Amino acid sequence: MMGIYVDILKRRFAALFFALTLISPSILASDGATAYITNQGEDSVYVVDLATAEIIEKISVGKDPAGVAVGFGKKHVFVTNPSGQSVSVIDTTTRKVVKTLALTGTPLGIAANPRRPEIYIADWDNARVFVININSFEVEAELTTGKTPAGVDVDHSGNRLYVANRDHNSVTIFDINTREKTATVPVGKAPFGVTVSFDDRFAFTANVQSGDISIIDTHKLEALANVPAGEFPYAIAQDPSTDYLFVTNQQESTVSVIHFPTRREIKKITVGDYPEGVAFHDKTGFVYVANWFSNSISVINSETLEEINTIDVGEGARAFGRFVLD
C-alpha cells in the first residue's frame, strides 16, 4: 500500500511543480507513452508521442475508424472500422497494419481483456458482441446484447464484460469465463460509453440523451444513481487518486468533472469542439480528450483541472476506447 501513496505524492508534486514554474506540460509526460488516435474523417490513426506532443506516425486503416483498444501484452492496437466492416490490427513495434479482420455488421466499441488474449467488439446494428482471440485472430463467440450496443469495457480482473446498449437504455453484463449473461441493468437514456472503476466495484455510463451518467454497483448489479453532466455526454475516464470522473460532453465542447464520492459536478472544462474519446494516464495525472470537430487532443491536468495543451491530429478525431499505450 505504501508504494501507492508514494506514487500519488510524486504525481501531486509534479502537478504543483508545473503550476509554479510554468514549464512545458510535455516535460511531465511518461517516457515512452503514446496515444493511438482514430481519425474518422481521413481513415487514419495518428500515433502521438505524449512526451513531446508530436505526431510520430500516420497509419492508414479501414473506413471511418472509431473504436480503439490496446491488446493484452501490448503487442497490438486494434481499431474498429464501422463503415469498412473490419478491424485493423496495428503492430506497436513497427506501427504498421499487419492484419485486417473482416466482420459483418457495424463494429464500433471495442475493449481488450487485461488478463487474457481476447478482444470484444460491439456490433452496433446487430445487438451482439464479437469475442476474438488475438493469437489466432478468430471469432470465438458472439454474445447477444441489447439494441445498438456502443461502448464496451472489461473489469481489471478480466472476468466481466460490460456493454452499453444505446437504444435499450441498459448495460448488459457478461461472465467472461462462461460467456453467459449475468445481468441487464437499466440506466439513463441512450448510454454510449461505459467505464469500469479501477477497483472494479463500480461501472459508469455516459447517457447521451438524458445528459447524465449512471453509477452501477457491480456487486449488487444495479444502478445506484444518475449524476447530471453536460449536453450529450459520450465517454468517461476516472482518476482514482482524486476520485474524479472526466466526462466528455459532445454538444457543449466541455468535459464535466464529477466528484465521485459526493456524486456532483464540480467543474466544466472547455475543450475543443465535439469531444468524444477520453483517457486518464495514471503515470502523469493527465487526461487526454479527442475533439472530433476540432481535429485535436486536449490535455488536462487532473490536479489543477485546467487544459494545459492542445495537440493537432487528423480529421475527425474520435479515439473511442482505451487509447493510451505505456
Amino acid at 296: S
* pLDDT tens string 135-183: 999 999 999 999 999 999 999 999 999 999 999 999 999 999 999 999 9
Nearest-angstrom CA–CA distance, 236 and 276 = 9
Nearest-angstrom CA–CA distance, 215 and 191 = 12
Banded pLDDT at 326 (limits 50, 70, 90): confident
**pLDDT score, position 31:** 59
Mean pLDDT, all residues of the chain? 91
- For residue 225, list its beta bridge partners: 215
Residues of the chain with pLDDT > 90, as a percent, come to 87
**pLDDT score, position 286:** 94
**pLDDT score, position 242:** 87
- Asked if 85 contacts 106 with a C-beta cutoff of 8 angstroms, the reply is yes
Amino acid at 144: T
Q: Kindly tell me if the per-residue pLDDT of 70 is higher than 70.
A: yes
**pLDDT score, position 284:** 81
Amino acid at 66: A
Q: How many residues does the chain have?
A: 326
* pLDDT tens string 85-130: 999 999 999 999 999 999 999 999 999 999 999 999 999 999 999 9
**pLDDT score, position 3:** 41
Place of cell 469465463: 177
Nearest-angstrom CA–CA distance, 25 and 286 = 9
Q: Where are the beta strands (DSSP E) in 113-217?
A: 118-123, 128-133, 138-144, 149-154, 160-165, 170-175, 180-186, 191-196, 202-207, 212-217
Query: Which value, in Å, is the radius of gyration of the alpha carbons in the chain?
Result: 18
- Asked if 48 contacts 311 with a C-beta cutoff of 8 angstroms, the reply is yes
Alpha-carbon distance values, 193 to 67, 109, 152 (Å): 11, 8, 7
**pLDDT score, position 14:** 40
- Per DSSP, the three-state class of 14 is helix
**pLDDT score, position 282:** 85
Q: Which of 324, 285, 322 is nearest to 7 (CA)?
A: 285
Exposed e or buried b per residue across 289-307, where buried means at least 16 C-beta atoms within 10 angstroms of its C-beta: bbbbbbbbbbbbbbbebeb
Average pLDDT over residues 12-39: 56
* pLDDT tens string 223-260: 999 999 999 999 999 998 889 999 999 999 999 999 99
Nearest-angstrom CA–CA distance, 105 and 127 = 10
Nearest-angstrom CA–CA distance, 115 and 228 = 33
**pLDDT score, position 179:** 97
Number of H helices, E strands in the chain: 1, 29
* pLDDT tens string 251-273: 999 999 999 999 999 999 999 99
Nearest-angstrom CA–CA distance, 252 and 274 = 7
- For residue 239, list its beta bridge partners: 244
Q: What is the pTM of this model?
A: 0.90
Nearest-angstrom CA–CA distance, 162 and 174 = 7
Under 8 Å CB-to-CB from 117, ≥6 apart: which residues? 71, 72, 73, 133, 134, 135
Assign 3-class secondary structure to 20-79: HHCCCHHHHCCCCCEEEEEECCCCEEEEEECCCCEEEEEEECCCCCCEEEECHHHCEEEE
Half-sphere exposure of 105 (CA within 13 A, CB side): 19
